[in-house]
Amino acid sequence: MGKKPWDGRFTQDTDAMVERFTSSIDVDRELYTYDIEGSIAHLTMLAHVGIITPDEAAALAAGLDRVKKKIARDELEFSDTLEDIHMHVENALGDEAGSVARKLHTGRSRNDQVALDIRMYLKAEIKEISHRILALQGVLVEMAAEHRDVVMPGYTHLQRAQPVLFAHHLMAYYEMFKRDHERMADCLKRTDVMPLGAAALAGTTFPLDREYTRKLLGFSKVSDNSMDSVSDRDFAMEFIAAASIAMIHLSRLSEELVLWSSSEFSFITISDAFTTGSSIMPQKKNPDVAELVRGKSARVVGNLMAIITLMKSLPLAYNRDMQEDKEPLFDTVNTLKACLEVYARMLPNIKVNRGVMLGAAKKGFLNATDLADYLVLKGIPFRQAHSISGRAVAFALENGKELDNLTVDEFKTFSEVIEPDIFEFLSIEHMISRRATHGGTSYDNVQRAIERATRDLDEKTAKAPGKVGKAGASASEGTATPEERE
């Protein structure tokens, strides 16, 4: 292994325990493709401004490409003595390209280098996560369209409240994930800023062309303050915050799937492929996928607390504490991606027990508000109508009936304005159809919402760039000219 990059100042070797303690290679090795791509852009720019020769640039680029392939084949030995992925790549480049490798770090620090790598990584992952959110939204819309006429109880305080369409309930989650997609797109704007060229904290004396590097790497803009460039992790905090909200939405959906699949509800049946059994109770079928997603939301929220707490007291500029940013960031990315993917696979395999849902919607006086609305239409003030409806519910409870099982004569003991048309008014179909205000659960509203969502998803899918994997661009792509990248 090579010497430390700071060996000129020190007279003692680093303690082996310190090397193990300060090493981040087990975590940041995931950034190797971005580190190499960023290095190729940097050396291309160095040649562009005349700091190195074109031949040196070509030799370095070819060497980096070989290093990348070597890491991909798991042929590079990683060691705590080299601390991080940056020094491993630079040391391996020396083996591949010789002494010219020592010129690569001209005008650059590991401070702006790691900031670049993380931004490149997160740009790619945000795009991938956005694709997965769209895919999950698509599944929800398809389920809503397939079950557009299924009626279920709507709940407040986990008590049956009013009947709604199951499709309307699903489309509520579509709206949540729509906001998650918008948050990811907004976060991407602040991630898409290139910090390379800020060096350690103050910029550099070399005549770097940062705009040229920006074009090579495909960033939208160049960072404006060198100190902020190397010390900023707002974009990572913002991403984990957005991811936490998305995980909360997945957790809420998980909770409902757990409840609905229980014997007490029996609204749905989750496919055997997405459930597990018990080691002791043969009859058990457990909704483990939903429970794990619900549990993993706590993990992501914990990551948010970790990175916020990490950054809250750091003075400018770079501090070694910031090495701890990667574990919560990488874990959040991997957790959210896995949860989105498993839900997109599980939801289409859920059986909806429409008869059970409808039966539940017909019990528990879910039409009590509609009785009050009926009385209002007959000229009775709402508060008085509310009281009359409440007394009717109490009477029905005492006599073991639902409201729509009462006779007209029984209704008239509460108000003389009630006529036989009350029964049509209290029917499930009419209760659903009348809730036609914008955003309500009426059949027509839900159909229009499904159509709007389908158009919106088609447009977003058409505009979205191709999927971006973790591999990033190949090393040879890094030598493209800015004109080719534009």
Where are the domain boundaries for CATH 1.10.40.30 in the chain? 362-434
- CA 68/CA 131 separation, integer angstroms: 27
- Which spans in 16-98 are helix H? 16-22, 25-28, 32-48, 54-72, 85-97
Where are the domain boundaries for CATH 1.20.200.10 in the chain? 122-197+224-360
Q: Are 347 and 273 in contact (CB under 8 A)?
A: no
Decide if 157 is catalytic.
Answer: yes
- Measured N-to-C along each axis, helices 85-97 and 32-48 cross at an angle, to the nearest 10 degrees, of 60
Candidates 157, 279, 313, 438; catalytic one: 157
Decide if 105 is catalytic.
Answer: no
What is the CATH superfamily name and number for domain 362-434?
Fumarase/aspartase (C-terminal domain) (1.10.40.30)
pLDDT in tens, 87-128: 999 999 999 999 999 999 999 999 999 999 999 999 999 999
What is the CATH superfamily name and number for domain 122-197+224-360?
Fumarase/aspartase (Central domain) (1.20.200.10)
Where are the domain boundaries for CATH 1.10.275.10 in the chain? 23-106
Rounded to an integer, the average pLDDT of 51-70 is: 98
Rounded to an integer, the average pLDDT of 265-282 is: 94
pLDDT of 15 over the 90 cut: no
Candidates 105, 169, 251, 278; catalytic one: 278
pLDDT in tens, 226-246: 999 999 999 999 999 999 999
HSE, CB side, 13 Å, CA atoms: give it for residue 462.
6
Q: Give the pLDDT score at 463.
A: 84
What tokens were used for 341? 């993917």
Q: How confident is the model at residue 170 (pLDDT cuts 50, 70, 90)?
A: very high
HSE, CB side, 13 Å, CA atoms: give it for residue 64.
33
CATH topology of domain 23-106: Fumarase C; Chain B, domain 1 (1.10.275)
pLDDT in tens, 415-474: 999 999 999 999 999 999 999 999 999 999 999 999 999 999 999 998 875 543 333 333
Q: Give the pLDDT score at 282.
A: 87
